[in-house]
Amino acid sequence: MTAPDSAPRPAPTLSPLPRRIFMVGATGTIGRATLRALLERGHQVVCFVRPRPGAGGKLGPEECRQLFPRATVRVGEARDRESLARDGFCGERFDVLVSCMASRSGTPADAWAIDHEAHVRLLAAAREAGVFQVVLLSAICVQKPLLEFQRAKLAFEKVLRESGLTYSIVRPTAFFKSLSGQIERVRRGKPFLVFGDGRLTACKPISDADLADYIAECVDDERRWNRVLPIGGPGAAMTPRQQGEQLFALFDKPPVFKEVPVALLDVIIKVLSALGRVIPPLAAKAELARIGRYYATESMLVLDTETGRYDAAATPSTGSDTLVDFYAQLVRGDPAPERGDHAVF
């Protein structure tokens, strides 16, 4: 499902040098928006998708072709080097690789298979196809890697940085969809859930469309080449408590919070980790609980490595869409975005 668009966006300028782009991850939240942004700039895009793409495998290749009428859709397996060459690149030349591909579950095995190994194979196949530039969607949280999916992403970032190809590694803060899980709770009169007092963390939320524009502009903007690019949305950083206050104001209700102790997550992690030693699927659940704990306690802002503190002022901003405007659209009844497997609340 597509998240609601905010205010009409000005038409972007056409790329002075339209490129032939090979894209993976075009069926994801940011991938769809990025594909749109690339096409609007006049680039020619071939999207490589798996046979049953979309959240929960809901889309077929034909639906993808209908969804992306101005792009070429090719079907194959991104983890398989032969399929990449035969079904994806097809012996043709490309200028740029754009990847918004990432594990949907974030479990350690899937993260290493997709965020690292599939990308390593993809990079090799892309190089053979003449690609000289790579734009990679990563995540700001890899600056403090405590989780397996972050280590997997970092490992590929290193491969890319050392590849000799021109690269832009885009590390965004928090997406709107990841901060929109409590609208129905609040509509139904329930309290807004926060960890601790709701002020343990902060982020500069970024919309799909603003991030997509930023990613697409990496193709032409030489200032973004060979750089790791942390990026947030416009305005001041917001804590979860401030997000809740904004939501209650939109519903014209007095704010009511339920404070969840972080220690509760610690207990869940301990129990699942212990059980995971005998029941392997529970080890993956323990990692998902660790992911939840990470986002409950770490800000999605640039980390000052000297002080160990997150720094809102040092976190660059782009775009014009605000989380509050996005909430307002959802409160009015626009369809909620698909939130994926990382959602905690």
Ligand X SMILES: NC(=O)c1ccc[n+]([C@@H]2O[C@H](COP(=O)([O-])OP(=O)(O)OC[C@H]3O[C@@H](n4cnc5c(N)ncnc54)[C@H](OP(=O)(O)O)[C@@H]3O)[C@@H](O)[C@H]2O)c1
Residues lying near ligand X in the complex (CB under 6 A) are found at 25, 27-31, 49-50, 53-54, 78, 100-104, 114, 137, 139, 172, 174-175, 178, 340, 342
For ligand X, which residue has the nearest CB? 28
Asked whether the CA dihedral 309, 312, 313, 317 is positive or negative, the reply is positive
- Minimum separation from the CB atom of position 254 to ligand X (A): 28
Give the other-Cβ count within 10 Å of 154's Cβ: 17
- Minimum separation from the CB atom of position 154 to ligand X (A): 12
CB burial string 239-262: b at 16+ within 10 A, e below: bbbbbbbbbbebeeeebebeebee
Nearer CB in complex with ligand X: 167/175: 175
Nearer CB in complex with ligand X: 10/56: 56
SS3 136: strand
6-13's contacts with Cβ under 8 Å and 24+ in sequence apart are 6/207, 6/209, 6/320, 6/321, 6/322, 6/325, 6/326, 6/329, 7/320, 7/321, 7/325, 9/209, 9/213, 11/40, 12/37, 12/40, 12/41, 12/213, 12/216, 13/41
- Minimum separation from the CB atom of position 275 to ligand X (A): 26
- Minimum separation from the CB atom of position 171 to ligand X (A): 7
- Minimum separation from the CB atom of position 311 to ligand X (A): 17
Nearer CB in complex with ligand X: 104/255: 104
- Minimum separation from the CB atom of position 110 to ligand X (A): 7
Nearer CB in complex with ligand X: 228/271: 228
CA distance 192 to 240: 9
Nearer CB in complex with ligand X: 115/278: 115
Q: Which two tokens stand for residue 141?
A: 């949280």
**Strand intervals (E) in 93-240:** 96-99, 133-137, 166-172, 192-195, 227-231
CA distance 176 to 128: 37
- Minimum separation from the CB atom of position 274 to ligand X (A): 27
Nearer CB in complex with ligand X: 234/255: 234
- Minimum separation from the CB atom of position 135 to ligand X (A): 13
With CA atoms as reference, report the closest residue to 281 among 147, 142, 112, 105. 105
- Minimum separation from the CB atom of position 285 to ligand X (A): 19
Nearer CB in complex with ligand X: 172/198: 172
- Sequence-ordered list of residues with C-beta below 8 angstroms from that of 327, at least 6 positions apart, any chain: 180, 183, 246, 247, 250
Nearer CB in complex with ligand X: 25/240: 25
SS3 164: coil
In the numeric block, the tokens 């209908």 are attached to 66
Nearer CB in complex with ligand X: 73/250: 73
What is the bridge-based pairing of β-strands 20-24 and 96-99? parallel
Give the other-Cβ count within 10 Å of 223's Cβ: 9
